[in-house]
Structure formats: structure tokens, C-alpha cells
Amino acid sequence: MDCCQLLPDCVDIGLILVGQDGRILVWNRWIEERAGLSSEQALGLTLSEAFGPHVDPRVALVIREALDFGWSARLSHALHPMPLPLFPPGGGRAERMKQSIDVTSLPLGGTNQCLVQVRDVTETVRREALLKQQARQLRADLHRLTRAQTELQRSEMRFRELARQAPAGLFEADAQACCTFLNERCEQLLGQELVAVAGTPWINLLPFSEQTRVRKSWCQAVESATRFSEEFRFTRPDGSYLWMRAEAGPLRDESGRIGGFIGTMLDVTDLHERATRNEFRANHDGLTSLLNRDRFERHLRAAISGAREVSDRLALLFIDLDDFKGINDNHGHNAGDTVLKAVAGRVRRVLRSEDLVARYGGDEFAVLIAGAGDPHNIDTIIGKINQAVAMPINLGHCHVRVACSVGLAVFPDHGTDPASLLNHADKAMYCAKRTRCADSGSSSEPV
């Protein structure tokens, strides 16, 4: 056995080399031990033959895309936790191991081969679950701390001892926002110890763009003796950033005057990111991640208003897939979803980054192109869309082809408002559909 044969067995990940015909060329020992199939038995087989019917069809899809188009892909364990029937070596076969798979196209000798790399992420997933559990416990602890703040103000000694152990950032500052106390968690959030920031208003540690707003809110709280509450983005000395929420209540001296504030600083980065994700879901199609119909029409109205001011031209394309119903009827709705996602990605790649694409509904897509001054350029784009959509789409067990009909409307030639442009593009699309050949629907090709 030479070095080239030994090398795949020396790495601590699974390696499967698949030839242009979809058959296995290399099957290393790591895979062999976890699949229960020797390399001698696996060589020359397809993945379906080697693993049986238990392979996630998305694995076959990305392999075929790597072989046909040279595309590389990663199947994240977060979305596809167990794509291959692999089990811990030496253990039972009760549950598959969690996997992360990379598929890399390897053009060798004039043909495309692809390398499938499989990593065991079972322990990583277990740790993530543990971290989530700890995060839930942390939130529960923070809730208990909020209720304890009233009692903390009654006893400074009791406050400092509890604050030292608190998982929330606790701080005390005078009326000028100069910190007189930071607990360990607050120092971690700020990335600095109390000795480094004492005598300086903590607001000065914020980015300049945040300082004016937060300082104004602090001064209003001091003047009105009310509670201070603000959220802001904070950049730590090491360059990392987080979103924090600072809340503080006034401390009064013997004469009743405001002597300072005591409060909490919480890391709310996760909440902001979750809000960003929710906003994305509200404005984008859940299947293709393209703009949804409502968001696209809002962009269209704004684009028309802007084009009218500068006497610019806009192109609106309406795209409808031909015989898409046949895909669903013959291959199932999962196959239809695969086709829609593939078409969405191809249309997006044909266009410029500033052009807008939306899934308008069902198997209909809409495209908005600004600066559409040259009709030849629009015709070229339509031709590219037709060509890209017509490429075979791998469903795992077969290929399908779909064609599309494209309708064009140009502002201001075909309308000066969204309704008239959409209506014209829709009619143009149906006119294009009627002129297509009767055999321009989908076709299946075996893998």
C-alpha cells in the first residue's frame, strides 16, 4: 500500500471521493468504521447503493451539483444534523452521529470529481445544548436579581457581596455618570476594571455616535429624579462589540437630593439579533429567502418615486415557471420546493447586486431593475434568466428541467404607477407563455 492510499486513513475525518459517474473512488477507514462497510465493498458503488435508502437526499443533490457545475457546498449540522447513516465506532446503532459535511468539486484530468468530507460534531452539538441550558439558567438568575435590587439598596455590605457574585453587570455612578462601583460581570462587559474608568463618565466609553443620545437621557434622569434606561451598542477595547441595556434608579442622600444612580448592565445582543432575524422573516419569503410580495411592492413604489424625480427608467420583469404543476404532481411538493429554491438562486446570480428579486407568489417571481435605459441590455438579461432557469435541476433521484415565461414592463413607457406596471408585466408574461412551444415544460433525467 503506497502513501497515497495510506493518507486518507491517517486523518480524523471521513473522506469519500466520488467520480464523475457518481461512484465511489475513495472510502477511508474513518467512514468504514462508522458505516459498517469496508472500502473494498464500497468502491465502485453509488452513495445510495453503499448506504441504502437512509441517505439525506440533499447529500446527493450537492454532490451532483459539484459534479455537474463545479459547485462546492456545506451541509451544516444545524440544518442537516444526520445526513448519512453513520454510527459511533464500536457502539450501538441506536442513533446516528451528528455530522457536518463539506462537498468540494475537484476538476481532475478533464472531469469533475468531488470530495466529501464528514466530521463528527456530536460532542459539539452536546456542548451547544449545555450552553443553551446554562443561558436559560442565567436568564432565570437575572430575573431573581431584578427582584432583589430593592433589598440590595438597604444594606451596602449585603449589596456588595451579592453584587460580587451576580451574573448581571451591576454599577454605581454619581450624578455626573462617573462610576464608583463595578461588579466583576460589569467589568467583563465593559472590558475594563473600575480603576481604569474611575473618575471618567462611563458614557465616554461609548462610541461617539451613541454618546449624545445616552448623555441626554442621563441628564434628564438626574434633573427629574427618574429612572434611567437606555440600549446602546458598545465596542470593547479588544474590538468586539455587543448590545447592552443599562437601567438605573436614583440614589438620594439625607437631604433628599440625587447623589447618583445604581443599576444594571445586561448583554442584549441575542435579543437584537433575534429581532433582526424576525424582521428578515417578515420581509422575505421563507423558502427562497427572496423578498416577499409586500416588501417588493413597497420597494417598487419607492423606486418609481425616485425614478420620477430624476427622469430615470425602471424595468419590471414578471417570471412564471412553465408546467411547474407537473413537477409537484410527478415528484412531490418537496421536489417543487427544491426547484423554486434553485430557480431563485439562479435568477439572483444573473442580476446585479442592486437589482431586486422577489418571490411574488407560488411559482411566480418579480425582478426590479433600475437604470433600464438600453432595451438591448434588458433583452440580454431576460435571455440569461431563460438560460439559467432552463439548466437541469438535481432532485437527488433524477434531474428535472423547467422553462419560464418572462413579461416586461418599463417605467414610464408602460405605466407610471405600481398597479399599471404590474398589470402590464403580467399580461406580457402570459403573452410570452402562449407563444412558447407546447413541449417546453419539465422533463426528467435519471441520475
| pLDDT value at residue 444 | 41
Based on the structure, what is the number of domains in the chain? 3
Give domain status of residue 180, yes or no: yes
Q: Note whether 71 and 158 are same-domain residues.
A: no
Q: What is the pLDDT of residue 115?
A: 92
The residue type at 277: R
Residue 414 lies in a domain: yes
Do 266 and 290 share a domain, yes or no? no
**Last residue of some domain: 244, 272, 300?**
272
Residue 113 lies in a domain: yes
- Can you give the CATH number for the domain in which 384 is found? 3.30.70.270
Same domain, 201 and 228: yes
Q: What is the pLDDT of residue 186?
A: 86
Closest CA to 80 of 64, 60, 66, 65: 60
pTM for the predicted model, two decimal places: 0.48
**For 385-394, what is each residue's pLDDT tens digit?**
999 999 999 9
Domain membership of residue 278 (yes or no) is no
The answer to whether residue 279 is domain-embedded is: no
| Same domain? 333 vs 242 | no
Cβ neighbourhood burial of 249 (10 Å; 0-12, 13-18, 19+): middle
Residues 288 and 268 in one domain: no
Asked, for residue 159, whether it belongs to a domain, the answer is yes
Residue 442 has a pLDDT of 43
pLDDT at 149: 64
Establish if 75 belongs to a structural domain: yes
What integer pLDDT is reported at residue 95 of this predicted model?
A: 82
Positions in the chain short of pLDDT 70: 1-7, 91, 148-156, 158-160, 163-164, 373, 437-447
Of the three residues 238, 272, 306, the one that is the final residue of a domain is 272
> Which CATH number is 195's domain given?
3.30.450.20
* pLDDT tens-digit series, residues 358-381: 999 889 999 999 877 677 788 899
Is 173 contained in some domain?
yes
Alpha helices by DSSP H, listed for 92-193, are 122-152, 156-165, 184-190
C-alpha to C-alpha distance for 187 and 199, rounded to whole angstroms: 15
Q: Could you tell me which of 175, 62, 82, 181 has the C-alpha nearest to residue 125?
A: 82
CA distance linking residue 283 with residue 267, whole number of Å: 27
225 and 258 Cβ atoms separated by less than 8 Å? yes
Range of the domain at 258: 135-272
